Amino acid sequence: MNKPLLLVFHSNLNQSKVNRALVEALKLRNQLDIFDIQELYNGSLDIMKDGAIEAQRLISASHIIFQFPIYWYSVPPIFKTWMDTVLTRMFYLFYEQEGQVIEGKSLYLHVTVGNLDSAYQKQGQNGFTLDELMAPLKATARRCGLSWHTPHVVFNANQLDENDIEKEISLSLKQFERWGILNNAPLTSSC
């Protein structure tokens, strides 16, 4: 049976507090295939040659989960490079063999941000909601035929103490259960 796939896009997962803790907690459950893309490709932005291996990971997955921190209102550079390489291959070069195969799969995002929830409001420091900042990813999911689910967001991630991190990891694991990822049960879209 195919497992859920968690792709982690973090410039330095070992230095992360929340992202690293979640990956460690999920590895203990041994219910997902987890890949740290930065580590896997040695941090190189000239990655993945033609994207075939990454495309096969998506094709084989029961669920697709992207985990990453928001960097300057966007995804980390390695995530953007990954999308350019892999999704271009799957949806423009090998659509019938690859892209079409993942259409209808569910896409989930686990996102960390360094600021408070209040900063991501219309009247907040950033002037945009996180939902507005996610528009390019929603558009990508739509173009790829993936079912979009409301992202799970951990705010103020770099300021959390150990107790707060434990609470956030517990909440994150509960969200993975609600998504049907940890028990591999199907879930309807929550758009």
Q: Which pLDDT value is given to residue 191?
A: 43
Q: What is the pLDDT confidence band of residue 159, given thresholds at 50, 70 and 90?
A: very high
Question: What sections of 3-49 are H helices per DSSP?
Answer: 18-29, 37-40
Burial letters for 117-138: b for 16+ Cβ neighbours within 10 Å, e otherwise? eebbeeeeebeeebeebbeebb
**Cα atoms in the Cβ-side hemisphere of radius 13 Å centred on 157:** 23
pTM flag (> 0.85): yes
Confirm if 136 and 79 have CB atoms less than 8 A apart.
no
Cα-based distances in Å from 120 to 51, 151, 156 = 34, 14, 11
Q: What is the mean pLDDT of the chain?
A: 92
The full set of domain ranges for the chain reads 5-178
Find all residues with CB under 8 Å of 85, minimum gap 6, and list them. Answer: 47, 48, 50, 51, 54
64-118 pLDDT, tens digit each:
999 999 999 999 999 999 999 999 999 999 999 999 999 999 999 999 999 999 9
Please tell me the distance from the alpha carbon of residue 90 to that of residue 96, in angstroms, as a whole number: 8
**Mean pLDDT over residues 35-45, rounded?**
85
Instruction: Kindly indicate whether the domain formed by 5-178 is annotated with CATH number 3.40.50.720.
Output: no
